[in-house]
Amino acid sequence: MQNNKNNIIGAMIYFLLSAVLTGIFIGNKFWLYDSVSSMVLSGSIAGGKWLIQIIAALIFLKEKKWELIKRIGLVCFAGSCVLFLYNILSYILLPLSGFSLFVISIMASVMVMISMYYKAVQKTGLPVKWFWGWMLCLAIAIFLQIQLVF
pLDDT in tens, 41-79: 888 998 999 999 999 999 999 889 999 999 999 999 999
As a whole number of angstroms, the distance between CA 92 and CA 112 comes to 22
Residues of the chain with pLDDT > 90, as a percent, come to 57
pLDDT surpasses 80 at 144:
yes
Q: With b meaning 16 or more CB within 10 Å and e meaning fewer, what string describes 48-83?
A: ebbebbbebbeeebeeebbbbbbbbbbbbbbbbebb
What's the pLDDT band for 103 if we cut at 50, 70, 90? confident
pLDDT surpasses 90 at 33:
no
Question: pLDDT (tens digit, 9 = 90+) per residue, 105-117?
Answer: 889 999 999 999 9
| The residue type at 47 | G
Q: Is 136 helix (H, G, I), strand (E, B) or coil?
A: helix
As a whole number of angstroms, the distance between CA 34 and CA 17 comes to 26
pLDDT surpasses 70 at 96:
no
As a whole number of angstroms, the distance between CA 3 and CA 9 comes to 10
